[in-house]
Structure formats: C-alpha cells, structure tokens
Structure 1
Amino acid sequence: MSLSTRVIAALGAVVVIGAGTVGLSIAHASSEGKPNEPKATLVVGRSSMAAGPACYNDGKPLDEAAQAKCQKDAQKALQEGTLPSSDVKIGDRIGVGVAPEVAEKGWFAFTDGGQQQRATLASTRTGSTFSGLLPASGLLASTKKTQVTVVEANEKTGDIIGVWYFQLNNEDAVGEQQQPATQQSQ
C-alpha cells in the first residue's frame, strides 16, 4: 500500500507543527517558576545601564544575615571591579531608576562618596521610579571607585526586599592611577 503525496505532506505538516508546539512549550516551561527579578538603572550623563539585584529573595524580606552577606559580597566585588560599572567625570550628572513594582513598595539610593562619606541619590520614596539627575561632584568618593547602592524597602514595615549595586569609575580622581610600566634595561 502506498501513501499519496497529499497524505505525506499532511503528515509532514503535523510533525512540523507538533515540533514547533513542543519547542514553544519547552521555552515557556523553562521560564516558569523563575523569580521575577526587577531591575534598577544607573544613569550617567546620557548613558544608562540596567542590572538585576545583587540580593533578592523573590520579593520576600531579606533577613539580617542575608543583608550582611550582601554587603560583604558587594565590597569584595567593588574591590575586584566586578560590579556593573560606568565611567563618570565630575561634570556629569547621575541618577537612578527602578522598576514600577519596586517604586510601589518603596526605595532609596545612596553612594559611598560625598562630603559625609555617604551621599543621597534618592531619599525614601514610593510611587516615583526615578531619582532625578544630580551633579556627580557631590556624589563621588575621593577615590577612583564609588559604590552606588539602591535599596528596595517596604516603607510600611521597613523590611529590605532587594539591593542593587553599581560602581562609578571616577575618571577625574587623582592618586589611584595606574603606575607607568618600567622600562627594561638593555
């Protein structure tokens, strides 16, 4: 018994559609069950970068041990230069943005620079997703690297929900510049 060309074409179409459906189902299933991690955005001048949180517990509060580990890991990453980073000059303006779901609960942002060794980018706020642009001169540490910290905090309970870190590389900093390579004697 031989199959007609139409039957073969129909079976081929079913196989292709079935394979496409299975592929789509696998792609959909692989994204299911993963926590939705909101992003924070660092704006420097006319450029921006977004990053996921360094510490996040699927929208649940971070306990004190998790917060301490998060801070320790961030300091290590800052020293190693592995935080999401952006070059900045004293004349630039800096801002921070958060996802609407973060703004809904509440957030604040600061740097480890400025005159008091901590400069506020955004005081505790809800509803607003952007800090506005502030002069870099008042936000930068006197060293080459300045850490930016963005914190999602439930304004009603005070619980810390997520923490993002960025690194600003101060192109105008003095003192921590690379040493010139020494010439080898001939």
Structure 2
Amino acid sequence: MSLSTRVIAAVGAVVVIGAGTVGGSIAYAMGQEEPSSHRVTLTVGRSSTEVGPFCFNDGKPLTEQQQEECQNRASEALDAGKLPSSDVVASDQLGLGVTPDVADRGWWANTNGGQQAQGGRFILASAAKGSTYSGSVSASKALNASGKTLVTVVESDPKQPDAIYGVWYFQLNTQDA
C-alpha cells in the first residue's frame, strides 16, 4: 500500500498546525500572549526542559509581597507535583541555561540539596551576569536525600541583589540507577 503525495502533504499540514496550536495554548495557559524572552532550560543528562518564569512582573522588580506570594504558590505547586520536573539519577550531569535577556541582567540558581556544610543548598550558578549557561555538575552533589529536589533560578542584578525580576522552579525526581 502506498500513500499519495496529497495524503502525505495533508498529514504534514495537520502536524504543523497541531504543533502551532499546542505552542500557542501553552503560552495562553501561562497568561502570556506570546512566548517569553525570559526562559530557562534545565538539562538533566541528555534531556532538557524549557519553561517561562513561574513569577514575573513584566520586567519590573517583584515587590516583597509578590515574592512571598510566589514562594507560597511554588510550595503549593511542589506539594501538588505541578512544577516542571525531570527524573534524575546520581550519575547524571545537571546544567541550566538562560536566554540572553536573563543573562544580561544577571541570575543565580541553587538546589535545596547538597551537603549540610553548605547550609543544605547547592549553588548551580552564582551571580552570573552575561553568562547563559551554568556549566555542568554531577547530580549527586546537588540532590537532597528526600528524593525530590527543588531547583530555584532567580533573575537578579548582582549590584541590586534584593531586586528580583523573575523566578523559575524545577523539581528533580531521584531515580535508582
């Protein structure tokens, strides 16, 4: 059985239109009219997850109240399993990438894992300005013992550390090797 050129073209058109619809639906669901230029990509091993900000104030610093509300919503989303997540094994490499708009202002990232000597946090990127990639680290260093590790990425100018412009969250789900 062979397919005609018309059938193949029609199927291709449906796939393209469907992909466009899904992309538009995601942007709409996030309350944005179009994809944001403020995106973060979490890379775990050979897979990656890219998301827009969890909390964002149209390029203006988040107020203290907005920051508190953001943390509360993130905690609820984490408890409900609604944060973007990736499965990870201790031997995986982790890395974070940000868009140039985020890199130009500055950003930092950490996990709620790591050694107690580090205060129970592991720094993935420290006050990076101009850099779009955190570099790769071994997941074993960044994971916490609970099996669910929270990754927090914050857009903030290193010269004004209290001015937070955007926040992203990811959940790492530890798997057996």
Bin for the TM-score computed over the shorter chain: 0.7 to 0.9
2:122/2:142 contact within 8 Å kept: yes
2:37/2:101 contact within 8 Å kept: no
Using the size of structure 1 for normalisation, the TM-score is: 0.72
> 1:34, CA displacement in angstroms?
4.5
Show CA shifts across 1:82-127 (max 9, x none): 1000000011010111110100000000001111311101111101
CA distance in 1: counterparts of 2:33 and 2:42, whole angstroms: 24
Using the size of structure 2 for normalisation, the TM-score is: 0.76
> 1:144, CA displacement in angstroms?
1.7
CA distance in 1: counterparts of 2:123 and 2:140, whole angstroms: 13
Corresponding position: 1:75 with 2:75: yes
Mapping for residues 1-186 of structure 1, pairs under 5 Å: 34=33, 36-116=36-116, 117-158=120-161, 159-172=163-176
Paired residue type of 1:99 = T
Structure index of larger Rg = 1
Gaps of 5+ in 2: 1-27
1:86/1:167 contact within 8 Å kept: yes
SS of residue in 2 equivalent to 1:108: strand
What is the percentage of aligned positions where both structures have the same residue? 54
Gaps of 5+ in 1: 1-30, 174-186
2:95/2:136 contact within 8 Å kept: yes
Show CA shifts across 1:9-30 (max 9, x none): xxxxxxxxxxxxxxxxxxxxxx
> 1:156, CA displacement in angstroms?
2.5
State the superposition RMSD in angstroms: 1.8
